[in-house]
Chains A and B, each alone.
Chain A
Amino acid sequence: MIPVPEVNLGGILPALILCVAGLVVMTVCLFFRKGVISFAAIVSLLGIFLAVVANSPLRFLNKTAFTGLIALDGYTWFFNLLILLAAGITVLTSVRYLGDEGHGLYEYFVLLLFASAGMMFMVSAKHLLVVFVGLETLSISIYVLSGILPGSAKSKEAALKYLILGGFSSAIFLYGAALLYGAAGSLSLAALKTYFQAGTPQLMGTVGMGLLLVGFTFKVAAVPFHMWTPDVYEGAPTPLTGFMSVGVKAAAFAAFVRVFFDGLVSLQVSWTHILWVLAVLTMILGNLAALVQENIKRMLAYSSIAHAGYILMGMIAGTAMGTQGILYYLLAYTFTNLGAFGVVALVGRKGEANVYLDDYRGLAKAHPLLALVMAIFLFSLAGIPPTAGFVGKFTIFSAAIKSGYLWLAIIGVLTSAASVFYYFRVVMKMYMEAPDTEPAGLQFSPAMVMALGIAVTGVLYIGIFPTTYLNLALQSVKPFF
């Protein structure tokens, strides 16, 4: 008789709810023409809310499901919540945008939900195949989403570029997984851990680790695997760019950390060296390239590359504090960057006509509150207190110094000093320069206002009262330390 594996759908309930919500949107919207966007948005938000509820029991668990394929622990809980938060804010910032584009693209929400479900599998995976399945679910949804605007050639170009390069990276990841299988005879993280602990690994195993690292660093957009980022971020619909910059990055980092701190922890010495080099390159190149951008989406794309460098620093530190820093940083970055991209979407107006830095001239005069909110996001990205971005950098830098990577931290602060220039440049445009022509008015939708409200509150609240969130992050990384 074939043994029936243990099935416990409760463990993946949050992801399942998202899938169901996506299916509901897909089916129902087939039959209607009007109001599909609002309907899709409401169902998505409902799904996300239910998923948050279904996710809550995971916080205090520490076990596996599906014969060890999936981990149900605080770490999964934290990242699920973060992904749901990102998805929720993205839905809010997208409603108006899609309405403006006017094609009734309800598929956008469906794909967004599926992408989030893929991310949730990725963060909970204890097996490289599950990581891969999650990664592909996420990637394919995002490929389509980047090119979803029917009329935009830029959007198509972005999608194609992302698809081709993303395909390569997935293949490299898979090749790495295959080599690891060849070496260890299994793809589960537990088996890999035992294999690498047993003694000197074969060359095959080490190479496999290297290829895996390439696959992950591609997804988190670290130099030198960052080439796709500026083009894709520029071409994709703005709210989605925000989602990519936080959601995809968070999910990729979550899986990256779990695979490397759980399965491949014995190789820590070797991968730390590689990451050290990558982090330095990423911080320097990301920040320097951002200095000269005129398009704000490209600027934020390079800034997001730079932030990947700071987060890598947390991995290099290799301690509970470093990983805690990664989690907090990603949470801070979620609020900050989604907010910033929300403003970019809002200011971009119909057809993304205003995505250049010069389009921000005089914003403070026309819309003082919006300019203030944007300034707060930019200060947070630059790491200026009392915002969440400051606490994030503070945590990661202290972890790096504590682990003895003083020079890395010094490079980190010097590059973030450089970053101040381009973030403040936007502030300068908003507050200190006057527009050439009076721009058209902005269309504030209630959903967008809510999204920006949540984001700015988050940035300030977790920046001023970080204790609770730092503790949550610390609890969540317990499984590895």
Chain B
Amino acid sequence: METSSFPILSFITLAPLIGVLILLFVNRGSHEALRRVAMMIMLADFVLSLVAYALFDPTTATMQLVENHVWVRDWGISYKLGIDGISLFLVLLTTLLGPIVILASWKDIKHRVKEFLICLLFLQTGMLGVFVALDLFLFYVFWEIMLIPMYLLIGVWGNPARRLYAAIKFVLYTIVGSLLMLIAILALYLMAGEASGTYTFDLLKLYAFPVPLQAQFWMFLAFFLAFAIKVPMFPFHTWLPDAHTEAPTVGSVVLAAVLLKMGTYGFIRFAIPLFPNAAMDAAWWICLLAVIGIIYGAWVAMVQVDVKRLVAFSSVSHLGFVMLGMFALTAQGVEGSIIQMINHGLSTGALFLIVGMIYERRHTRLIEDFGGLSKVMPVFAVFFMIFTLSSIGLPGLNGFVGEFLILLGTFRVYPWYAVFAASGVIFAAVYMLWMFQRVMFGEVTNPKNVGLKDLCAREVWVLMPILVFVVWIGVYPNTFLKPMEPSVKNFIQHVEKKRALVLDVERAKKQAASEAGPVLASSAQTPSVDR
């Protein structure tokens, strides 16, 4: 592990907070100036993250650009940041979307602009913090901090009708899960501390600690609940359609593109490597839930009358893929899962932006109110089509790469799950294309749709960067897969090694308890992992 001299990750994480400070001193009346400041900060943050990308060494699996400072010495809490191939692209995705959401909200948000931008910047810090934190305490702090700006985004700038309900539902769901996770974090900290003598929240040190099987089960359960709610996995998904539908456009974009990734990232960074035995024992069940989520999400999406709600349910389906690939625990599966996190962020984020754009024009999101838009808005139609196809997983676009890798990885372990999950791809084509057809093709039946303006330059600029990456990942995914490869390999090796270690420890314990029989060579007894 190399320690970097220049604290680039701190800069990336905390730059939005500097933006908040600057915004505090800008006159609340001058909306344009406020937006410009926020935009500059987000752009600067993106550039900083590109610097981090340039400094990142893609050939190694160790944590890079590490910063480590003592925070609360007596309790082993430190301010420790670092990234590896798994978190690198999530950080980049977050910083890429930063300027995009500011640009997208330029015309959309007209009241309380100052507070709105402060919320967005604050949220940015929270999300980046979660992706770079390597200390469980620090991670938890960032994880909880995110709640407040998101709550305000939904509750203040959301859809007037049900925003309050959606906001509090979002908070309560999330906080129940995360508080139980806090208990598990504390239990793990104390257990590891008692066993090794040094109390620490340092994630990398806790990785090495073999948690006894029974404790693993409970701790994994608590972590699972927190992350599964966030992902959200079926059946913990019910907050998601409400939050998405009621949130303002950019709120939905951030929620879908980044916030949901906290859950999946949480599994890959925390829950699985810390509790590999429990995770692998539960993998079959979790994959089952994932497959149910894929099919259920698709079916429910099919019958939605509201475009935004349809996209929200498609998220449940897509994230089912992410979970499936991850818990297959094969190299392809996990890589596919990570790349699919990015893909979902890009394509679903873009779809929410698109829905926001027609909503701004028509103030409705009901499919039946549209029809034949491709004639009135040709440029819009092109973008919409590409992102729809990307979401379906058309070869040549990003979605295909992720889903293909996931299905490939899963098939080797759970062939039947792969078969059922593949049907989700077909359903996705059904609901997306059917929706697209009803909204975009045919005659313009509704007279209100006749004079709609096509995309303006700003809106094209909002969608363009996403489009670039959608095609890039689709055509040449190696740019993205290569840097994560060592980290993914390392992840899988770690999980296996630690799992075997825990089993050894358990066996030794049992032997010591029974005091009978010769000591078996532990390595010979380790059951090989099916892959």
| Interface positions of A (Cβ within 8 A of B) | 364-365, 368, 379, 384-386, 390, 394, 397-398, 401-402, 406, 409-410, 413-414, 416-417, 420-421, 424-425, 427-428, 431-433, 466-467, 470-471, 474
Contacts and interface: CB of A to CB of B under 8 A. Distances in A.
Contacts of A406: 183, 187
Interface string B137-181: 000110011011001100110000001100110011001100110
B71 A467 contact: yes
Contact of A386 (B73, B141, B180): B141
Given A368-B115, A385-B141, A432-B155, A397 B186 contact: yes
A163 to B, nearest CB: 39
Nearest to B71: A467
Contacts of A402: 190
B529 interface: no
A115 B170 CA distance: 44
Given A379-B148, A384-B148, A417-B176, A432 B186 contact: no
Given A428-B164, A428-B168, A467 B186 contact: no
Contacts of B144: 384-385, 390
A138 to B, nearest CB: 34
A410 B175 CA distance: 13
Contacts of A390: 141, 144
A333 B141 CA distance: 19
Contact of A466 (B72, B112, B180): B72
Contacts of B71: 467
SS class, residues of chain B in contact with chain A: helix
Contact of B156 (A394, A416, A432): A432
A417 B186 contact: no
Given A368-B115, A385-B145, A420-B172, A410 B180 contact: yes
Nearest to A393: B182
A401 B155 contact: no
Given A410-B180, A420-B172, A432-B155, A384 B167 contact: no
B189 interface: yes
B530 interface: no
B443 to A, nearest CB: 42
B155 A417 contact: no
A401 B167 contact: no
Contacts of A467: 71-74
A385 B140 contact: yes
A386 B137 CA distance: 11
A431 B183 contact: no
Contacts of B182: 394, 397, 413
Contacts of B164: 428, 432-433
A402 B190 CA distance: 6
28 contacts: A379-B148, A385-B145, A394-B186, A397-B182, A397-B183, A398-B186, A398-B190, A401-B183, A401-B187, A410-B183, A413-B182, A416-B179, A417-B172, A417-B179, A420-B171, A420-B172, A424-B168, A424-B171, A427-B151, A428-B155, A431-B152, A432-B156, A432-B164, A432-B167, A467-B71, A470-B72, A470-B75, A474-B74
A424 B112 CA distance: 20
B187 A414 contact: no
Contacts of A470: 72, 74-75
Given A385-B145, A401-B183, A420 B163 contact: no
The 3 lowest CB-CB distance pairs between A and B, nearest first, are: A413-B179, A385-B141, A432-B155
Contacts of A417: 172, 175-176, 179
A21 B408 CA distance: 80
A409 B75 CA distance: 19
Nearest to A324: B74
A402 B183 CA distance: 11
Contact of A431 (B141, B145, B155, B176): B155
Q: Which of A386, A406, A417 has the most chain B CB within a 10 Å cutoff? A: A417
Contacts of A432: 155-156, 163-164, 167
Contacts of A397: 182-183, 186
Nearest to B147: A384
B108 to A, nearest CB: 18
Interface string B468-506: 000000000000000000000000000000000000000
Contacts of A466: 72
A365 B114 CA distance: 12
Contacts of A379: 148
A401 B190 contact: yes
Nearest to A431: B156
A424 B168 CA distance: 8
Given A385-B144, A428-B164, A413 B180 contact: yes
Interface string B176-207: 10011011001101100000000000000000
B176 A409 contact: no
Contacts of B171: 420, 424
Contacts of A365: 112
B428 to A, nearest CB: 35
A397 B75 CA distance: 14
Contacts of A401: 183, 186-187, 190
Contacts of B190: 398, 401-402
Contacts of A416: 179
Nearest to A371: B115
Given A397-B183, A409-B183, A474-B74, 15 more contacts: A379-B148, A385-B141, A402-B190, A406-B187, A409-B186, A413-B180, A413-B182, A414-B180, A417-B179, A420-B172, A424-B151, A424-B171, A433-B164, A467-B74, A470-B74
Contact of A428 (B112, B145, B167): B167
Contacts of B74: 467, 470-471, 474
B75 to A, nearest CB: 8
B116 to A, nearest CB: 11
Nearest to B160: A432
A32 to B, nearest CB: 44
Contact of B168 (A364, A368, A421): A421
Interface in B326-351: none
Nearest to A418: B172
Contacts of B167: 428, 432
A256 B427 CA distance: 65
B176 A414 contact: yes
Nearest to A398: B186
B11 to A, nearest CB: 19
Given A368-B115, A379-B148, A409-B186, A421 B172 contact: yes
Contacts of B155: 428, 431-432
A366 B183 CA distance: 39
A420 B155 CA distance: 15
Contacts of B179: 413-414, 416-417
Contacts of B151: 424, 427
A413 B72 contact: no
A474 B151 CA distance: 36
Q: Which of B112, B163, B183 has the most chain A CB within a 10 Å cutoff? A: B183
A184 B275 CA distance: 53
Contacts of B75: 470
B80 to A, nearest CB: 16
A417 B112 CA distance: 29
Nearest to A397: B186
Nearest to B158: A432
A431 B75 CA distance: 37
Contacts of A364: 115
B137 to A, nearest CB: 8
B175 A420 contact: yes
A413 B164 CA distance: 24
A137 to B, nearest CB: 37
Nearest to A425: B168
Given A428-B167, A431-B156, A386 B145 contact: yes
Contact of A413 (B112, B147, B148, B183): B183
